[in-house]
Amino acid sequence: MPELVFFSGTMDCGKSTLALQIEHNRSARGLKGLIFTRDDRAGEGKLSSRLGLVTDAVEAGAGLDLYAYVVAQLSRGDKVDYVIVDEAQFLAAEQIDQLARVVDDLDLDVFAFGITTDFRTRLFPGSQRLIELADRIEALQVEAMCWCGERATHNARTVGGEMVVEGAQVVIGDVDRPAEEVGYEVLCRRHHRRRMTSASAHAAALSPDVLPVSAG
């Protein structure tokens, strides 16, 4: 039976790489997929991995009806055997409903990839709807790591290396941006709660207030 599958995880855990791997494996068997993405780091209409892999995709803008788009492709004779959606957290809730309809009415597998919560630990609307509707939810097994070495479970937004907790839910950035720009870092819950990024932890370690003082 076709399924709506949600592959979830923090940033930097290999979601886009897995999406590209699924596309490769299925296309190698002669199947044809339709790929959607939204606000990818490589630019509009791209699905990219931090490993350097990239492929073309359909940009799923706010007004795009995903179900109608798939139907239009099929109606003009294009082959569509499955659908891949990357950065699914950025989709509107109604677009997730459209993906569920692709599964139920068109009998196509839909593989959606996204992070679950934002930098404030709040659910993205797209991710929330996927959790509500998905036939199956798969947590990515490649564990991202916090700077302390523990498993990273939360996404932090940074400016100048400092964690921020205010601002728009969606601001495009990445984990390898220069410190002065808006960027993101994955943290364990403890250090997310303490707002302690790798940069702030390094600064604290260099502070004379926390270094042992020699009597000599």
Q: Which residues are catalytic?
A: 87
Q: Which of 173, 66, 157, 169 is nearest to 123 (CA)?
A: 169
Q: Yes or no: say if 20 and 50 are a contact pair by the CB < 8 Å rule.
A: no
* CB neighbour list of residue 102: distance below 8 Å, 6 or more residues apart: 66, 67, 70, 83, 108, 110
Q: What is the dihedral of CA 180, 185, 189, 193, to 10 degrees?
A: 10
CB atoms inside a 10 Å sphere around CB 206: 9
* DSSP string across 71-125: HHHHHTT----EEEESSGGGS-HHHHHHHHHHHHHH--EEEEEE-SB-TTSPBPH
Largest CA distance in the chain: 83
The letter for the amino acid at 78 is D
Q: Yes or no: say if 9 and 144 are a contact pair by the CB < 8 Å rule.
A: yes
Q: Yes or no: say if 200 and 161 are a contact pair by the CB < 8 Å rule.
A: yes
